[in-house]
Amino acid sequence: MATLNVSDVTLTFGGLHALSSVNMEIGSGLITSVIGPNGAGKTSLLNCISGFYHPTRGEIQYNYQRLTKSSPHQVSKLGVARAFQNLELFRGLSVLDNLMLARHKNLQYGILSAFSFIGKASRVEAENRAHVEKVIDFMELEAYRKSVVGNLSYGVQKRVEVARALTLAPQLILLDEPMAGMNIEEKEDMVRFIFDLKNEWGITIVLVEHDLGVVMDISDQIYVLDFGEVIGSGDAEQVSSNPKVIEAYIGEEE
């Protein structure tokens, strides 16, 4: 059963069509990759799903909930999290503080409880800390928990960005080029994390990634965008043999 439905989504900026009548069905519990040349509309699509952009036309539904006009905060509350291509971290804070801050939406207690730090405030804080510790352990960030994010290598910062999204306990996670700028070893680690998110945590994953080797190896289904339009979809074999895809994207690599 599809978790996320994108129906006839069009996004325009003046006379520019960033997306044109895009249709997608994102299956529950699967890794779905969205690929295409630079400027194809991949990040614009994620922005529409996560509420940063609102489509000019069309509908987006997640588990039968309409996302089309929702704000990022509302989308997050429905169980959708986003890891950004350009890091959205507090560079002057530690890894632990960044992850704890991401749990702020769960701090639902009054001022008196906050000041006294008893009852609900203490319980909620303990629950948030336990979840953050689980994420730190999963993303293998123990060695960096007290390190200032801005002092870490780019590869580790990318892991922290994914971890920040995971602290929201999503059912669906949008990963925008999580392996960009990584070396081979770091990419292998990230691939392992993505597989474990699917197989151990049961999270549905939408992945935007330029590394075709990774995409073909790990994706259950693939959509190919070119100039804002879907020009191909299917599994790795179907996509890699699609003449339109070869011409528009894969052919560029040769």
What residue type is 161 in one-letter code? E
Q: What pLDDT does 16 receive?
A: 87
Q: What pLDDT does 80 receive?
A: 95
pTM of the shown model: 0.87
Please give the domain boundaries of the chain with CATH numbers for all domains.
1-79+170-254 (3.40.50.300), 90-164 (no CATH)
Q: What pLDDT does 122 receive?
A: 64
Tens-level pLDDT at each residue, the chain (254 residues): 568 999 999 999 988 899 999 999 999 999 999 999 888 999 999 999 999 999 999 999 999 899 999 999 999 989 999 998 877 788 899 999 999 887 766 555 444 444 445 555 566 677 888 899 999 999 999 999 999 999 999 999 999 999 999 999 999 999 999 998 889 999 999 999 999 999 999 999 999 998 888 999 999 999 999 999 999 999 999 998 999 988 876 555 44
pLDDT tens, position by position, 182-207: 899 999 999 999 999 999 999 999 99
Q: What pLDDT does 14 receive?
A: 83
Q: What pLDDT does 116 receive?
A: 47
Q: What pLDDT does 247 receive?
A: 85
How far are the Cα atoms of 3, 54, 106, 162 from residue 6, in angstroms, in the given order?
A: 10, 12, 28, 24
